Amino acid sequence: MAEHITTKVLIVGAGMGGYVAAIRLGQLGIESVVVDAAKLGGTCLNVGCIPSKALIHAATKFEAVAKAADGGTLGITASKPSIDLAQTVAWKDGIVAKLNGGVAGLMKRAKAKVLNGWASFSDAKTCTVKMADGSETVVKAEHVILATGSEPVELPFLPFGGDVISSTGALSLSAVPKQLVVVGAGYIGLELGIAFRKLGAEVTVVEAMERILPLYDKALTDPVRKWLEKHGVTLHLGAKAKGMDGKSLAIETKDGQTLKLPADKVLVTVGRRPVTKGWGLEAMGLDMNGPFVKVDSQCRTSMRNVWAVGDLIGEPMLAHKSAAQGEMVAEIIAGKKRTFDPVAIAAVCFTEPEIISAGLGPQDVEGRDDVIQAVFPLSAIGRALAIEAADDGGFVRVIAHKADHRLLGIQAVGQHVSELSNEFALALEMGALLEDIAGVIHVHPTLGEAFHEANLRALGHAIHI
């Protein structure tokens, strides 16, 4: 006999959009039931943002020791390092487990009831949850928040399994592959490809577009491409993967030739898609926007009191966007007046070097004569020189309106620049002018001085260049 639960709010998906909504609802005194078949934290915490950054950190430490063993660096010498990737993965899993426990504690404090199972809707406000032990729970709710997230796109001729892996599989390998082929030169493929190159793998990247990281402008991606070329990563741009041929990946190059690339593992990273299958979306009567659930500026769907947040409703597929939407929806349900209308959502690419983009980029203002653009190189920043972050072509760029000097967009590329992303987002959200940033005394020595100097340069009086 199935258990029946009636709740004020049902949340499907315990990623950042879902669990943040549950926590905020609890703070506002509203009960909720959260359903997810996987671990708390969703893609980002379990198989995305957090574990990938842990692997990238470990790879960077390994590379540093390897440099010290290869003739020394900064006066430091060391013995040739080795890596037990299984131990590294276990360390990474420990971090994930700790964070899982933290989310579980927060959910308990919010008095959210967590059901570890798969939800299937029979109508817009009713779902049956099939638990791991075979039992079922029927949940009826006044409000439903859909936060089902996204999943890796699988190529029909390169299905996941065996030596063909997704980013999830790459984060759980027990050994560094000798030869790794990455299909897709977006941020996920390059982040992981660079990490495995640092760990000693021979890496080849296959990309259908004519350049890497096609969503970013060329000036931002050039330093990354130079790193790849300097470190022996083979690039096949304008090329298409065709399928596996034994232990090789067959590709068609841009000039029509067929090549076979030896591969111990093939990492397919050609994008992500919203999870819309298998949980009864078709029974809910919701309007769609292409592959995504259609919502308004408050994340309301076409069905009364059914909400959707995060990757399920479209780009950008970013965890921090999902969290902000989950918090907003919780507050609207509690009677507060909110809309989701950010000036900009900063995005970070954790490649080598890192890339940030917030607001408008050069491609967005191309041909306009009413904007100011200014670039300041990291090579003129003392902190960058002191931490070996000044020689890879890194810079900070600002774009502002010529008439009133209001910042419209900010970008950066360079080592460790990801830590500047929140200052960039804050400046845009607060409607800062060039003069506002120029008037803030930035701490010396820090990389943030490059942002200060870029604004000064846009005003015509940079100090250190």
- At 153, list the tokens: 């796109």
Q: Please determine whether the domains at 3-47+88-152+273-333 and 347-458 fall in the same fold group of CATH.
A: no
pTM: 0.96
Q: In the CATH scheme, what is the homologous superfamily, with its name and number, of domain 164-270?
A: FAD/NAD(P)-binding domain (3.50.50.60)
CB 376 within 8 A of CB 399: no
DSSP string, 316-337: ---HHHHHHHHHHHHHHHTT--
Residues contacting residue 447 through CB under 8 Å, at least 6 positions apart: 378, 381, 383, 384, 389, 414, 416, 417, 419, 420
pLDDT tens per residue, range 12-26: 999 999 999 999 999
Q: Say how far apart CA 51 and CA 67 lie, in whole Å.
A: 24
Catalytic center residues: 444
pLDDT for res 172: 96
DSSP 125-173: TEEEEEETTS-EEEEEEEEEEE---EEEPPBTTB-SBTTEE-HHHHTT-
Task: Tell me the C-alpha distance between 428 and 32, whole Å.
Answer: 34
According to DSSP, the residues that pair with 265 across neighbouring strands are 180
- pLDDT, position 184: 98
- What does the domain layout of the chain look like in residue ranges? 3-47+88-152+273-333, 164-270, 347-458
Sign of the four-CA dihedral 436, 441, 443, 449: positive
Domain 347-458 in CATH 3.30.390.30? The answer is yes
CATH topology (fold) of 3-47+88-152+273-333: FAD/NAD(P)-binding domain (3.50.50)
Residues with pLDDT less than 50, the chain:
none
The CB density around residue 112, as the number of other CB atoms within 10 Å, is 24
pLDDT at res. 132: 85
In this structure, are residues 65 and 19 in contact, taking their beta carbons and an 8 Å threshold? no
Query: Which pLDDT tens digit goes with each residue over 396-453?
Result: 999 999 999 999 999 999 999 999 999 999 999 999 999 999 999 999 999 999 999 9
Name the strand (E) or helix (H) holding 182.
Answer: strand 179-183
